[in-house]
Amino acid sequence: MTLSPSISGTYTFSDIVQSHGYRLTPASAAKLPSFTEDLFLVLQFGGNANVMAEGASPIAVDCTVRVRGSYAETKTCRWMMRKSFFTRFNQRKAELTFLLDAAVAGDLAQEHFQQRLTETVNHVQSLVADARSSLLSVLAKDKNRVRQVGVGPAVHIETIVIGDLIAGRCGLLKSSGSSFDRDELLRRIQVCDALEHDIIPDVASALRACASVIEPSFMPIREDAMFDGSLPDL
């Protein structure tokens, strides 16, 4: 997609995001609680059975991000972003739908944002790798057990940033002693690979482009600076 500047001669937030293949719509931030961390991220997928089986709906990778910038009490903007990615499993094409619920409170200084984004991306990728290792461990333990056909665990990842501190955790949401379909475990491992090597770098690339093009020193939170009025429906 070729970027075309808005009537004002500048690129809008939606121009840049859509040029990277994402569909975007603004959302209400009225009911969001105050942000207590500089950044909070939750990533989850795999809660539905047969997530990548033939004829099944695309697996949804849900991501929630909350970012607190300077003057966070003045304004909060929120967007829903969506993009489809594709991988292969058992020689079949499988679709992954990445759904991002992002909200920013206040203004983000570009230099600080770029540095924090790089740190967060590296941290989340390491947590995805840890989740992949956990899935492999379950696969090995379940090798000789009776499997529950079409059943697999949900994968949950969290990251928080407060000042110079960054922390996170990952885990598999499952009942104690439960066993899983081998194919479902392998599919979730495939999703981890897609997240670590394709999806997360792609999202980061889009956000870096927004930070570097919209404004030389700040990412503005004014809605008229972010939206061109021609947003597609999700």
Query: What residue has token string 């057990």?
Result: 145
Predicted pLDDT of residue 179: 73
The single residue listed with the structure tokens 């939606």 is 14
With helix as H, strand as E and coil as C, how does 167-229 read? EEEEEEECCCCCCCCHHHHHHHHHHHHHHHHHHHHHHHHHHHHHHHHHCCCEECCCHHHHCCC
Q: How do residues 141-184 score in pLDDT, each as one tens digit?
A: 867 665 666 678 899 999 999 988 999 999 998 766 667 888 88
Q: What is the pLDDT of residues 94-124, one digit of tens each?
A: 888 999 998 888 776 667 777 788 899 999 9
- Whether 79 and 24 have beta carbons less than 8 Å apart is answered as yes
pLDDT of residue 225: 39
Q: Is the Cβ–Cβ distance between 69 and 104 less than 8 Å?
A: yes
Rounded Cα gap, residues 54 and 52, in angstroms: 7
User: Which sign, positive or negative, has the C-alpha torsion 113, 69, 167, 170?
Assistant: negative
- Around 9, how many Cα atoms within 13 Å sit in the side-chain half-sphere? 0
What per-residue confidence (pLDDT) applies to 198?
Answer: 93
Amino acid at 197: H
And the tokens for 150? 């079409």
Instruction: Check whether 138 has a pLDDT greater than 50.
Output: yes
Instruction: Output DSSP code: residue 28.
Output: -
- CA contacts within 13 A on the Cβ side of 42: 9
Q: CA-to-CA distance for 22 and 227, rounded, in angstroms?
A: 14
The DSSP code for 37 is S
Q: What is the mean predicted confidence (pLDDT) over 190-219?
A: 77
CA distance 139 to 103: 36
Q: Kindly indicate the confidence band of residue 47, based on its pLDDT and cuts at 50, 70 and 90.
A: confident
Cβ atoms 45, 85 nearer than 8 A = no
